[in-house]
Structure 1
Amino acid sequence: MLLMIGAGLVAGVPGRLAASTVVWASPGWSAWTLLDRNTREMTGSTNAASTNRVELMIDVWIAADDLRRLTERGFTPNSAELAALSTMIRESDDQTAQTFYRRNGEDQVVQRLIEVCGLTETTIRPGWWSLTEMSSRDAVRMGECIADGRAAGPKWTKWLLDEMRQIPREERFGIVAALPAAEQAGVAMKNGWTLHVNEGLWVVNCLAITDDWILSVQARYYQRFGDMAYGARICADTARRVVPTAGGAR
């Protein structure tokens, strides 16, 4: 089965390709959404409302939700808890994500994500945070929710974004790799990826947040077409096409 990557850009946006234009074709599926934080303009692929399993990209919300809820109850996380949250974000520690997911009500964690961040294309998979289905548009909305303080609250937003900037080099692939070296350190980002062995299917998600824009790229493809690096290239190639400083449309 051959799935086509790269539905065209949204029509009617000056300087961008028409919706009917195929940007590139390759085995697999992908979608993307870009938010210009200055103009509030959101553009994306024609399939930007389609969904993908979020994998560990969602752990930044799991951390934000925990911190916000603690603050609302008048508590401050101790050093051990902050260290655990940091490990979850920086090292994509799924066991730690599971611990905080259970602690905060499991499916209620994702339900609050939908409500707090105003998501419209996200579906809960009962008991499985990693299998939450989310569109690239909703991933950008989640990114904006993290950036503007709704997710973690004003006390912890800077801490959370700083943690997203400290993700180690081996996991800073995809969107950030397409940017000029001088800009990369300032990008708050989170990727999520998994090989679903029973399906022979790679699922990859990339999210990047800057002061000027937020970009989400999603991909799915069969293992025979490539490994995780294949999905990383899809994220990077998309960024090069749509982010001005990476050489994309202005």
Structure 2
Amino acid sequence: MRTTPLTAVPLLVAALATPAHAAALPAAAQPPRVPAGTTAAWVVYDRHAGKIVATRNAHRKYRSASVVKILIAIDYLERRKSVPPADARLLQVMLRSSDDDAASAFWDRLGKGQIIVRTARKLGLSDTTPPPASKPGFWGYTSLSAYDIVRTYRYLLDRAEPRVRDTILGHLRKATPCGADGFDQTFGIPDAVPRPWAVKQGWSGFGTTPPVRCGGDAKAVGAPISWVAQRATGSGVPDYGRPVLHTSGLVGKGERYVMALLTAHPAGGTWNASVKRITTLARDLYRYAAR
């Protein structure tokens, strides 16, 4: 459905309840509580109402991890009229199973950080910047915000060519339970929000071997050497040294809401504890936005 441009919507649509009043409100009427030691940012846009219905730290920058794969796909599809079968397969595993090798192939071929420069300019992403100049090959070090992620989904819904929109969102609606690296990617929205949904997840800083290998339908291929090597230094990278988990997508009946939830967790934190935190936040955020 067509909606008004995001820039026409005030970022803060209502004052949140003060701590003194929050205890008296029903749980669904309270914004999510962020655990100590965790930083979180979110934006939820209601497509029916045409406005933002929940926001926190909307313009805070996080390292993108795999959420940037949406921008890589947009740039690739908008720069060509047809997609060879081999590239169609790469797009599928990159978007559905968050395959890092596929993302690296497109990243190298399309000019690395120039992908981010082009898409940020075209989509009006004011918080989105390429990786540091010293780390041009590390697409996961792209910086972005919850606000810009919501703008990206709204671009796909409202402005992108149908073939671009249908290809990308079609894959995100079929996101696999397992990432290609063996990590379970059902944290956040998939575990917290009833279907239907279309999601793109992101995770970084938990090493290359999952605590328990996911047993779903995505083949584990391991992380590319360049992806592993980016742990060597974090100059200019948001929240470097802290693991991040992000969940984003279209949720609710008729994909009513556009939701982006970005989190950074305590250094040395475990996968399981971090997953529990973001899933609880996603559940509470959806209930609050849909109140």
TM > 0.5: yes
1:217-238 Cα shifts (integer Å, max 9, x gaps): 11112243x3233333333222
C-alpha contact (below 8 Å) 1:114/1:122 kept by paired residues: yes
Aligned to 2:37: 27
Residue 178 of structure 1 pairs with residue 192 of structure 2: yes
Aligned residue for 1:77?
83
Structure 1 stretch displaced more, 31-40 or 17-26: 17-26
Aligned pair partner of 1:49 in 59, 62, 68: 59
- Give the equivalent residue in structure 2 for 1:13: 14
Q: Which residue of 2 aligns with 1:5?
A: none
Unaligned runs of 5+ in 1: 1-9
Q: Tell me which of the two structures has the higher relative contact order, counting C-alpha pairs closer than 8 angstroms and 6 or more residues apart.
A: 2
- Kept in 1, the 8 Å contact 2:202–2:247? The answer is yes
**CA separation in 1, counterparts of 2:172 and 2:42?**
20
Q: Paired residue for 1:4?
A: none
The amino acid across from 2:113 in the alignment is: D
**Residue segments in structure 2 that go unaligned for 5+ positions in a row:** 1-10, 23-30, 178-183, 207-230, 233-239
RMSD (Å) for aligned C-alpha atoms: 2.6
Aligned partners of 1:194, 1:63: CA distance in 2, in Å? 20
- Deviation string, structure 1 residues 84-112 (Cα, Å, up to 9, x no partner): 11111122221221111121121211012
**5 Å matches for 1:40-119?**
40-71=50-81, 76-119=82-125
**Corresponding residue for residue 218 of structure 1:** 262
> Which residue number in structure 2 is paired with residue 6 of structure 1?
none
- Normalised by the length of structure 1, the TM-score is 0.80
1:147 is displaced (CA, Å) by: 2.8
Percent identical across equivalent pairs? 24
- 2:202/2:246 contact within 8 Å kept: yes
2:6 match = none
Corresponding position: 1:227 with 2:270: yes
Deviation larger for 195-204 or 161-170? 195-204
Distance verdict in 2 for CA 1:19–1:130, change over 3 Å: farther
Alpha-carbon distance change, 12 to 84 in structure 1, aligned in 2, over 3 angstroms: closer
Aligned length: 227
Counterpart of 1:143 in structure 2 is: 153
**Structure 2 counterpart SS, 1:92:** coil
